[in-house]
Structure 1
Amino acid sequence: TKVENAFADYRHKYEVQVGLITELGQKTAEITSLTEEKKKLQDELEALQVSMTPVEDEPETAHGLTTRAELVEKIRALGQDVLDGVKYGFNNAVGQLKVLNPTVELNT
């Protein structure tokens, strides 16, 4: 009976140890998989950071733009600013011509 109890205790400890070894193997495989995924994500992040690095002659207005949509919107806004500037310049030139030539009728 004493031997049987010791054997039962040993068997229980052995089963626990086998379970722990199995779990350790699973966790080791999981750690390996997660380490590979982390490396892949770090490489991807590095590639994205390199692609977002401003070029030497990049205008200040382009800094901070991260998506194509932001870039397109910025181009539209700058295009509208240019158009507004050209209209202002044209209207200013017409106004100057009218001041210098009050008797001439301009067709615009």
Structure 2
Amino acid sequence: MNRIIIALAAVCVCSVSAQVYLNQPIALALQQQPAPAVREASLAHPAVVENALHEAQYPDQFRNNFYKNPHIAEALAKHSWFGDKEMPVFEREADKIPRDRIVKIFKNAGFVRRR
């Protein structure tokens, strides 16, 4: 009986522990294929465009309808204009750090469980 209780407790503890899944791709059959868009010159940073395409693949229940409000979108766009002595960033220093090094730092800090 004690073995069953210990086994059940171990299963519960293992199922409750937090896990981080780093950028697992969605199965190709489940992805919504975006309509081909006309390529236009854009001032958006390539990482922002890539992130927007990645977020467009999320199911509707995971999207925030707050940003679909035109008044909110306009206010956020106006707030993000460049102010005095601000300029766009085309090459970020953070992009030069290898992702495996970042994962290693998080693992050593204890934020990601080692496998």
Richer in helix (by share): 1
TM-score, reference length from structure 2:
0.21
> What TM-score results when the alignment is normalised by the length of structure 1?
0.22
| Structure number with bigger Rg | 1
